[in-house]
């Protein structure tokens, strides 16, 4: 008589602290919606961040009013999307030389369980991994979910 082992069941992942990096002036609705879906069932917290990349020739504190305004608009959009799903968002604007490094540092300092981000789009073709996504995938201290919808 053959004995069959019961299949192993993996517990569903519970993400308590979700980090969602956004790009100002680009659509990020799907990444925020995915994060809100993950957060909604477990009362998780979402931290949405926009990194203002400051050129090396300028000090990190340089006035970048247009970039800051675009970052704030992106964060307000994220709040509205998550709020429509009953989830609150903590919003932050970060300044850095390299966005990927700032996002990884934020994930470490906030003890994020997962980073949810949208794959960058370049022209008419989707690039699966850009410089920032590549850095995050290589250095993230937690899981990473990349939302990469098919091209239109």
Question: Does residue 4 form part of some domain?
Answer: no
Give me the CATH number covering residue 116: 3.40.50.620
Phi-psi region of 73 (alpha: psi -120 to 50; beta: other; left: phi over 0): alpha
Choose the weakest-confidence range: 13-17, 64-68, 77-81: 13-17
Q: What is the mean pLDDT of the chain?
A: 85
Question: Does residue 9 form part of some domain?
Answer: no
Secondary-structure breakdown of the chain: helix, strand, coil percentages, each rounded to the nearest 5: 35, 25, 40
Phi-psi region of 39 (alpha: psi -120 to 50; beta: other; left: phi over 0): alpha
**CA pair distance 127, 66, nearest whole angstrom:** 26
Question: Does residue 139 form part of some domain?
Answer: yes
Question: Does residue 26 form part of some domain?
Answer: yes
pLDDT in the model for residue 130? 78
Residue 126 lies in domain: 17-147
Q: How many domains does the chain have?
A: 1
pLDDT in the model for residue 27? 72
50 neighbors 132 (Cβ within 8 angstroms): no
Question: Does residue 3 form part of some domain?
Answer: no
Question: Does residue 8 form part of some domain?
Answer: no
16 neighbors 42 (Cβ within 8 angstroms): yes
Question: Does residue 11 form part of some domain?
Answer: no
Question: Does residue 104 form part of some domain?
Answer: yes
18 neighbors 113 (Cβ within 8 angstroms): yes
Tell me the per-residue pLDDT of 95-149, one tens digit each, with 9 for 90 and over.
999 999 999 999 999 999 999 998 766 554 444 567 888 899 999 999 999 887 6
pLDDT in the model for residue 30? 86
Q: At what angle do helices 29-40 and 65-83 cross, to 10 degrees?
A: 40
pLDDT in the model for residue 122? 59
């Amino acid at each position: 008589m053959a004995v069959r082992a019961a299949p192993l069941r993996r517990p569903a992942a519970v993400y308590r602290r979700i980090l969602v990096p956004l790009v100002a002036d680009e659509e990020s609705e799907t990444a925020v919606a995915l994060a809100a879906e993950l957060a909604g069932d477990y009362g998780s917290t979402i931290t949405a961040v926009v990194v203002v990349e400051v050129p090396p020739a300028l000090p990190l504190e340089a006035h970048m009013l247009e970039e800051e305004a675009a970052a704030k608009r992106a964060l307000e959009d994220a709040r509205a999307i998550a709020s429509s799903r009953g989830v609150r968002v903590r919003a932050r604007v970060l300044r850095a030389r390299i966005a990927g490094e700032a996002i990884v540092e934020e994930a470490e300092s906030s003890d994020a369980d997962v980073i949810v981000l949208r794959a960058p789009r370049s022209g008419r073709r989707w690039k699966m991994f850009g410089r920032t996504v590549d850095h995050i995938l290589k250095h993230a201290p937690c899981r990473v979910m990349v939302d990469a919808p098919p091209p239109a």
